[in-house]
Amino acid sequence: SIHLLQAGATSEQVSWRTQRVRPREEAFQPEVTQLPGEVRDASCCHLDVSPCGNFVVASFSDGAVDMLDFPMLSRLTQLQYAQPCPVAKQKGIFVWRATVTQRAYDTNVYVISRAAHPWEVVLHEVYPLGNSFVKAVKSEFALAKVCQAAGGFLTDFCVHPSQLYLVAAAVLPWSDARSILLVYDLWSGELLKSCEIFTSLLVAPRVPLHPSLCMDCSGSYIFCASTPAPMGPLDLQFDRGSPPVGLSGCSDLLHSECWQKSNAELIAESTSVVCAVDFASGEPCYQASINASCISLGSPWHDPCQLLVGARDGTISVWQPPPSISARIRSLLEQSLEVFDKIEGAASRDSGSLSPPLSRVEEAVAFLWATKLQAAIDWSHWGEAAPSDIQPMLPLAPSPLAPLAPLGSVPQWPATRPEMDVVVQAR
C-alpha cells in the first residue's frame, strides 16, 4: 500500500498523520505463476513525484510500475507488469524536456523504468486519451549482445540533470571488465560510450562489484558505489580448497588467515568501493574504500558538494570530495544560473506551458547543458583517458549548524600534481 502523510509541527517536534492510504490494486500479470503456499514480495520499493506535482510513479519489488494521480493516489495506468523473477530492484523516474520551449510544445509525461529483461530499460511516453491515459514506448536502452553473453545485467541507472542522457551501470560476471558505466542518449536510446569502473583496486573483490549511481545537481560528476562485498588480499579471488592451477607453490598465500575464514566472517568484513567519474571526459577522479550501502549527493539549496553515505550498520556519514571537484560543481552551478537569468529567465516566466515550471536551479543546469556543454563532449574518446590525479575523500566533522560558503564564492582550484593511482581507506 501507499500512504500519503501530512506533517504537523509542534513546539518541539514534527509529527506525521496519515491522510490517505491506497492499497495496491490487482492487475493483469502475464506469465506470473505462484505455487501453493508461496508468498511473493510485492512491496513498494521506490516513489517519484513528477515536476508538475500532479503524478506519482510507484515501483514495486515484483517489477511492476504504476502511475498514480496526486493527491488522490488513484492509478492512471500501469507502465510495467510484475515479473516472475525480477533480478534487480525496480525504479521508475520522471524525465522531462530540457528547455522551456520544448516543454511548451510537448506537454506529455515521460517515465523511465526497468523492462522485462534485466539488461533493458525503457522510456515510456504517457499522454491523455479521452478520460484515460495511454502509454507508448519512446526509446529503449539495452546492453550489447556481447555483454548479455557475458551474463551482464543493469544494476542501476539515473538521468543526467540535463535531461539529455541516461547513465547506467552494469555488471559482467563472465568478462574481464566486470563493472562498466554506460551513457545513452535519453531520447533516442543510442549508446554513446561506455567505460570500465572500479579499476584502481588494491584489494581483490571475491564477487563482481555491483555499482549503484547518483549524480551531483550540476551534472559534472558521476558517483558510483559498489554494493558491500567481501574484500581482501589476492587469495579471496579463488575458491578455498585445493590450490588453483599454477599457484601450487603459494601455500603460504593460499592458507593465510584470510583464506581460512568462513563465509559469515567474510560477509561481516565486507566493504564498498566509491569512485567519481568526470562526466565530460569519462576520466575517474577519485576512488576510496568505504563502508557504504547507499550514497546520495547534497541538494543545491544546502551544499551540492556533500556526499551522504549510508553504511551497512545503519550509520550515516557526510563526506567532502576533493577541493577541485567541489570547486567545479559550484562553478558550473554559478555559470548555469548566470546564463539562464540572462537568456532564458524572462522567456520561462512568460511561457504558456501547461505544466508548472521546474526549480530555478534545475532549469538553469538543463539549459546550459542543452545549449553549450552538450556540444563540447568528445564521445569518440570518452572514458579512454587514464586517471591523472585521484584524491581521497575526507569525512566532515559533525557540525550541522556551521555556516556554509555562499554559492557565489568559488574556491581556487589546486594545481594538478602527477600522482600514482591509489586507493585510500577512509573511516
Residue-wise over 266-293: b if at least 16 C-beta within 10 A, else e? beeebbbbbbbbbbbbbbbbbbbbbbbb
The pLDDT tens digits for 203-245 are 566 677 889 999 999 999 999 998 776 655 544 444 444 444 4
Residue 247 is predicted with a pLDDT of 38
- pLDDT on residue 422: 42
What confidence score (pLDDT) does residue 111 get? 96
Q: Is 199 exposed, middle or buried (0-12, 13-18, 19+ CB in 10 A)?
A: middle
pLDDT, tens digit, for every residue of 417-427?
444 444 444 44
Q: What is the DSSP letter of 240?
A: S
Cell of 257: 588467515
Closest by CA to 133, choosing from 235, 55, 211, is 55
Compute the distance between CA of residue 51 and CA of residue 300 in angstroms, rounded to an integer. 16
- Summarize the chain as % helix, strand, coil (round to 5): 15, 35, 50
CB atoms within 10 A of CB 398: 8
In sequence order, the 6+-apart residues with CB closer than 8 A to the CB of 373 are: 162, 219, 280
Q: Which helix (H) or strand (E) holds 77?
A: strand 75-80
75-92 residue pLDDT tens: 999 998 887 766 678 899
Give the pLDDT of residue 404.
Answer: 34
Strands, E, within 191-271: which ranges?
191-196, 204-205, 211-215, 221-226, 231-232
pLDDT in tens, 52-75: 889 999 999 888 999 999 888 889
> What does the H/E/C string look like for 278-347?
ECCCCCEEEEEEECCCEEEECCCCCCCCCEEEECCCCCEEEEECCHHHHHHHHHHHHHHHHHHHHHCHHH
Residue 148 phi, psi (nearest 5): -65, -35
Q: Which residue has the higher pLDDT, 112 or 287?
A: 112
SS3 237: helix
